[in-house]
């Protein structure tokens, strides 16, 4: 080893002496001990290294850097984990909407005429000038009036609806069959309408579990109870509609929604090839959801 090679190697020798036992430096250090000229160079090099180390280690640090790092890390963690519930909530809401949309897609084409006719009449109502057959703020009074007129009505008005002030009721004829409408005012000022007809006269009566649908601006829930085909309709949110359902129907609705969600989750997987490949075999896919629902699900996946 000549001095030039020794200098090359010793350039990586730390001034703290930590590398004294490293075999890579052994020969170079040996050379230093033999050559006074090289030893002088090495001493100068180490003195310069120490001075440079001290100089660089005295570069001032911004006073707020440490606090900013710690605060930033906390915010980052909170943001990372904290936003998950928000994302989940958004995803859950979208799933619910997708379910409703999916159900709408499935059922709106059935075109239950009594429902369409009732909504058509309600849509002509001018606020404050509704052409009610009977006006009352007490829904019991309206119910009794309808019974007295031998018009169709539910045996018991759902408790949640009873707590709302009524506006009045109207009877119409749909394909020669009587249909009654009771209007209620919701707490947010919006209206919700209970439409009832005799289920036995219908070819395609609603099921016992409430069926949600969107008809234009309207969100509806329809079900059959004690021989009466019922529909709740509002231009508000689906969740509000669900809360106004009769208790039993609401329970059935929740079971129904839960089942549909499970099914929809499978359909999400069915709609995404990569997911299908990874978990499809375990889920026993049932790709029964309408394309609109799957499209919405893919949107959710992309959003999340």
Partner 1 sequence: MPGLEFEQLVDAHYAALYRFGYSLAKNEMDAADLTQQTFYIWAEKGHDLRDAGKAKSWLFTTLYREFLGGRKHETRFPKVALDEAPEEAVDVPVAAEKIDAAAALEALGKLDENYRAPLTLFYLKQFSYNEIAEVLNVPVGTVMSRLSRGKAELRKALSDQQSEADTRIIEISPFRNEGLARKGESE
Binding site for partner 1 (CB under 8 A): 4-5, 7-9, 11-12, 14, 16, 18-19, 22, 24, 41, 44-45, 47-62, 65-66, 68-70, 72-73, 76-77, 80
Is-contact 248 149, C-beta < 8 A? Answer: no
**Secondary structure (3-state) at 286:** coil
Q: How far apart are CA 293 and CA 99, in angstroms?
A: 7
| Shortest Å distance, C-beta 12 to partner 1 | 4
Residue with Cβ nearer partner 1 (80 or 284): 80
In whole angstroms, the minimum distance from the beta carbon of 258 to partner 1 comes to 34
- Considering beta carbons, is residue 44 or 291 the nearer one to partner 1? 44
Q: Alpha helices of the chain — where are they, by DSSP H?
A: 3-10, 23-34, 36-56, 65-107, 113-123, 139-148, 159-162, 238-244, 247-271, 273-283, 291-303
Smallest separation, CB 250 to partner 1 (Å):
42
Q: Which of 5/30 has CB closer to partner 1?
A: 5
Residue number, 37 or 127, with CB nearest to partner 1: 37
41 or 105: CB nearest partner 1: 41
Residue among 8 and 138 whose Cβ is closer to partner 1: 8
| Cα–Cα separations (whole angstroms), residue 208 to 65, 98, 158, 197, 212 | 64, 22, 15, 15, 12
How many CB atoms are closer than 10 A to CB 235? Answer: 14
Q: At its nearest, how many Å lie between partner 1 and the CB of residue 59? A: 5
Q: Dihedrals φ, ψ of 226, to 5°?
A: 55, 45
Residue from 20, 52, 36 nearest 10 by CA? 20
Shortest separation between residue 302's beta carbon and partner 1, angstroms: 22
- Say if residue 303 is exposed, middle or buried (CB neighbours under 10 Å; 0-12, 13-18, 19+): exposed
User: What is the nearest approach in angstroms of partner 1 to the Cβ of residue 48?
Assistant: 5
- In the Cβ-directed half-sphere of 18, how many Cα atoms lie within 13 Å? 3
Distance CA 229, CA 177 (A): 12
User: Which is closer to partner 1, CB of 48 or CB of 92?
Assistant: 48
């Amino acid at each position: 080893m000549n001095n030039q090679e020794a200098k090359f190697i010793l350039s990586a020798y730390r001034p703290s002496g930590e590398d004294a036992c490293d075999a890579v430096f052994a020969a170079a250090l040996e050379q230093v001990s033999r050559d006074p000229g090289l030893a002088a160079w090495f001493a100068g090099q180490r003195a310069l290294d120490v001075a440079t180390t001290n100089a660089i280690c005295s570069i001032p640090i911004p006073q707020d850097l440490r606090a900013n790092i710690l605060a930033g890390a906390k915010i980052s963690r909170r943001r990372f984990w904290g936003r998950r519930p928000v994302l989940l909530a958004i995803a859950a809401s979208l799933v619910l909407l997708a379910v409703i949309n999916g159900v709408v897609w499935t059922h709106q084409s059935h075109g239950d005429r009594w429902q369409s006719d009732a909504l058509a009449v309600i849509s002509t109502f001018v606020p404050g000038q509704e052409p009610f057959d009977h006006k009352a703020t007490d829904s019991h009074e309206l119910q009794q009036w309808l019974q007295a007129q031998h018009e169709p009505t539910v045996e018991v008005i759902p408790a949640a609806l009873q707590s709302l002030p009524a506006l009045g009721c109207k009877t119409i004829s749909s394909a020669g069959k009587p249909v009654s409408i009771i209007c209620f005012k919701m707490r947010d000022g919006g209206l919700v309408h209970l439409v009832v007809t005799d289920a036995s006269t219908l070819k395609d009566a609603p099921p016992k579990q409430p069926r949600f649908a969107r008809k234009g601006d309207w969100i509806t829930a329809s079900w059959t109870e004690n021989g009466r085909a019922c529909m709740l309709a509002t231009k508000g949110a689906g969740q509000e509609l669900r809360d106004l359902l009769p208790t039993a129907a609401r329970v059935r609705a929740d079971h129904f929604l839960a089942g549909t969600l499970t099914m929809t989750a499978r359909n999400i997987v069915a709609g995404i090839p990569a997911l299908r490949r990874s978990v499809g075999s375990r889920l026993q896919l049932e790709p029964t959801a309408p394309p609109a629902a799957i499209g919405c699900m893919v949107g959710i996946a992309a959003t999340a």
